[in-house]
Amino acid sequence: MCFIISGALVVIWHFASKNPAFNTLRLAEFFKFNYECTTTTVLKSSTTSAKVTTTKIIGTIAPPAPVPVPIPQPLQPIAGNLKLITTNTDPQYKMFVLNQNSELLSGIYLRQGSFEGSLQRILRKSLEKTKNGEVTFFDIGANLGIHALYMAALNYSVVAVEADMETFSIFSQSVIVNRFYNKVQAINAAISSSRGNIPMLRNANNIGNNRIVSKAEAAAQPGLQHTVRGIKLNDLVPFLPHDDIVLKIDIEGHECHVMNAEEAQLLFSSKNITCVAMEFTPKNMNANEACVANMVAFFAQNNYVPYYSSGGELGRKITSTNMYHEINHDVLWLPSSANAADYF
């Protein structure tokens, strides 16, 4: 037996038991994969040339190693009641936010009914490029479901990962109220470079800034720290239903721990990652410079090129040779073979 993301499953099963339609089959697979740890998943890549399809095995995911049973810690609930809003996006959908203007994200939704519209347009275009809608929107750092719910409203398949249990439970309730059960696989875990317990710090005024920190940093702010379940990116590869993936990752400076050769090569080799949308502000986030350099090198090795994906420089290729020091921006990584004009 392995004991991974047990907290996540408690929350997911809570909703699943109230709403039997909530994607129980896939959750059952997820449960098996993580708890029984008996499966070795074989990844295959298919190439079709003329009439012949060749499938080659390009790697395997070993069952995760057992980790100690996490000691449950009392969670400090985010203060405030929830409010169900209707977005002013096209299409519209419903979304739970905190009924609290002082919290940045909820405040924006309470006032405007939408957030990061320009990123949503880019992600939507990227999804529309893929034939027959056979593409998965993979959202790492889903938060309240800002982008995941929109893509589900557009009828795309979504795999959305959110580490913070309170934020995740709000997001789950939005999945339920919209009846997106069969579109969204919601997973409460922190994707990181290790499995097991991971310290996280809350920002009471901006739930979008809840982030993974070092143990020392977490210990310094006992009222805001809590423990989340760490999983590895590879653990989720078998749960991505399509080969084509539009990836969004926004995990507050922790990106380089996940987007590197060791953690992400299997995903990039086994799936068609058509683009990666990322908030690239590593210096602001105090990310480690060498770690960020590894991430940038990883993208280059896989032939991805960065573009500015918001503001006045939207769609311009980033030519910086020192991104850590020079770039503080939303970035879209595209395969060098892609026509960038199609995405902006």
Ligand X SMILES: *[C@@H]1O[C@H](CO)[C@@H](O)[C@H](O)[C@H]1NC(C)=O
Residues that bind ligand X (CB under 6 A): 129-130, 155, 244, 272, 274
Which of 106, 274 has the CB closer to ligand X? 274
Q: Max CA-CA distance within the chain?
A: 62
Q: How far apart are the C-alpha atoms of 329 and 318, rounded to whole Å?
A: 10
Q: Are 192 and 198 in contact (CB under 8 A)?
A: yes
Q: Are 213 and 33 in contact (CB under 8 A)?
A: no
**Nearest approach, Cβ of residue 244 and ligand X (Å):** 5
**Nearest approach, Cβ of residue 128 and ligand X (Å):** 9
- Note the Cα 287 to chain centre separation in Å: 18
Q: Are 192 and 219 in contact (CB under 8 A)?
A: no
Which of 36, 134 has the CB closer to ligand X? 134
**Nearest approach, Cβ of residue 129 and ligand X (Å):** 5
Which of 244, 250 has the CB closer to ligand X? 244
- Structure letter (DSSP) for residue 260: S
Q: How far apart are the C-alpha atoms of 283 and 254, rounded to whole Å?
A: 12
Which of 139, 252 has the CB closer to ligand X? 139
Angle between helices 6-18 and 165-177 (to 10 degrees): 20
**Nearest approach, Cβ of residue 315 and ligand X (Å):** 17
**Nearest approach, Cβ of residue 31 and ligand X (Å):** 23
**Nearest approach, Cβ of residue 78 and ligand X (Å):** 33
**Nearest approach, Cβ of residue 208 and ligand X (Å):** 28
**Residue with the two structure tokens 């993580």:** 34
What order do you get walking across the sheet with 329-335 strand by strand?
184-188, 157-162, 135-140, 244-249, 272-280, 329-335, 304-308
Contacts of 238 (CB under 8 A, 6+ apart): 29, 33, 41, 43, 61
Which of 197, 274 has the CB closer to ligand X? 274
Which of 272, 301 has the CB closer to ligand X? 272
Which of 100, 269 has the CB closer to ligand X? 269
